[in-house]
Amino acid sequence: MIKRFSLTKTVMVLAIALGGTLPAHANDRYANRPPIVVSPDLTAPWLMQLGGQPKARVVYRDAQPRVVVRRQVVQQRAGQPVVRRQVVVQQAFAQPRQVRPTAIEPQFLPQMVDYDSGHQPGTVIIDTNTRFLYLVTGNGQAKRYGVGVGKPGFEWAGAHRVTRKAEWPTWTPPAEMRAREAKKGKFLPVRMDGGPANPLGARALYLGSTLYRIHGTNAPWTIGSAVSSGCIRMRNEDVVDLYERVPVGAKVIVI
């Protein structure tokens, strides 16, 4: 009788944990039952009931258990202490970290648009206000790309020609940029070889005799923002596409 009562009580507790009430009354309490989510981390609470979507995706780092060895003298034998070792494994909880988003707004993805600019096909027009780059294709159309532009104080406008192109360009930040960033506690290299970590990304188109370029980026989530020191940045896949379409000598207009 005692065992049967304990089992019944256990079933009732589990029913309440899983449904919030006994099955006979569940429909009375919830018109739409909230989702039941089981934790993927066995060191965390095994059952979590969540309502709504998380605001940011959370990724758990691997957490290694910590082994603690405790020594305890339990008795004396022939004048010598006998030590018993007790090994205790303490499980470390995984620490959540926020993952930086990599997607950009859909309007900044490449697409063909109506664009009657009056300029010759092959002309590149960059609208820094809307954060769009247009490659004029003719017949009142252009291929439009999303870009990142100069942050406040670094805006500029003008017309230049593409004087040089480079694949996986080397980055040599100017001395004034290095000094400016050093005041913020960020120390830039004198020179960085091309590669995925390079801020210039996969391709660069150099504009006139200026220090400005249309280039890729290692931070694609910044496309559509005013974040640069005057250069026009694009997603790597987009600047590769533009690089193949725009020759040296092409006209670039920044407005």
* Element holding 88 (H helix, E strand): strand 80-90
Of the listed 25, 119, 160, 215, which one is catalytic? 215
Strands in 13-79 per DSSP E: 36-38, 47-49, 58-60, 66-77
Residue 25 annotated to the active site: no
Q: What is the DSSP string of 180-225?
A: HHHTTT----S-B-SSTTSTT-SEEEEETTSS-EEE--S-GGGTTS
19 Cβ neighbours under 8 A, 6+ residues apart? 26, 33
Cβ atoms within 10 Å of 152's Cβ, excluding its own: 6
Give CA angle at 127 (126, 128), nearest 5°: 105
Residue 231 annotated to the active site: yes
Of the listed 25, 119, 160, 231, which one is catalytic? 231
238 Cβ neighbours under 8 A, 6+ residues apart? 110, 145, 146, 216
Q: How far apart are CA 169 and CA 164, in angstroms?
A: 11
Q: How far apart are CA 68 and CA 54, in angstroms?
A: 36
Catalytic residue positions? 215, 231
